[in-house]
Structure 1
């Protein structure tokens, strides 16, 4: 069974975090939700989310996938935390998957792992030179998957399912979720 770590912080975007966690768990991915500074966070729209663990308690483990939801303030907190930057660097160096949506690709820039890669984000968060910017809803470049924002969260989560569990699992879950929208996905590497 694949293992994923989803990081949340005060200001994380609810839709992106919860949709990703839910879809991964529906796909039988073992998901650990880790709070940056504690078990409870207040998300970007005032929704309170409760993590499974504190970040410090899970840093020594290996995960097949590390996911960062967006939300400007949450993404900035993730970007500015040296533990997160080091976690992303280790994950990338090991060739394991990383997903970031909305504003969260700024943490990938801080970790130095987007240079020369294709990526997307909420408009204005990635700058030319930090990555080769794309406008598709989901961009997969090797082990890094990025997405644009709350409206693309389902496509993002299903892309992560496909990477961890295969196309059949992705299609089965999309059907069960009544997800029929066709979104543009760019895949490279």
Structure 2
């Protein structure tokens, strides 16, 4: 069965933290949908790159968390703040967690988006260095990627490849994750 995932994109998203998981997950055969949280498909990254999402949050409507296997939440200071400011994004991510789906966040997103939703409480996580100080009731680890059940977190742009491969390993299979990691020379 083909796995389905979505990546939320908000103005100010960190380029590598969004595009790398999109690229790797699609290589792994995951049916991946990019979702602009604004009213337009066009989303501006932190580095000024314009990306056209597959759909908007409004068009996605009241999507059922049961229809998806994973949600990916990129970081970038402004991007994470914009995601956190969206009640619809927060509701969807919480519904994914409650449905036992994979919730994956990188850089500022674990601290800025997931922690206020209560999704890090009593969990192990990682995030961009220093952002862990904003999180209470959770255990921060300095690892590049931390997996705690269906919660996958990572540190930043430099760990985006490892983050994407970890998602593939859990969502698809360890063999597919290794294949993708080798094909992009993440491992040799």
Q: Structure 2: any 5+ residue segments left out of the alignment?
A: none
RMSD (CA atoms): 1.1
More displaced, 170-179 or 120-129?
A: 120-129
Match of 1:152 in 2: 159
**TM-score, with length taken from structure 2:** 0.93
Correspondence 1:87 to 2:92: yes
For the residue of structure 1 that corresponds to 2:89, the secondary structure is helix
Of residues 56, 65, 68, the one that matches 2:70 is 65
Q: Structure 1: any 5+ residue segments left out of the alignment?
A: 182-189
Of residues 133, 136, 161, the one that matches 2:168 is 161
Q: Describe the superposition over 1:108-149 as per-residue Cα deviations: whole angstroms up to 9, x where unpaired.
A: 112111111000000122325242110100000011100000
More displaced, 84-93 or 151-160?
A: 84-93
**TM-score, with length taken from structure 1:** 0.93
How many residue pairs match? The answer is: 181
8 A contact 1:85–1:110 mirrored in 2: no
Deviation at 1:52, TM superposition (A): 0.2
For the residue of structure 1 that corresponds to 2:181, the secondary structure is helix
For the residue of structure 1 that corresponds to 2:132, the secondary structure is coil
Match of 2:37 in 1: 36
Match of 1:119 in 2: 125
Of residues 32, 54, 57, the one that matches 2:56 is 54
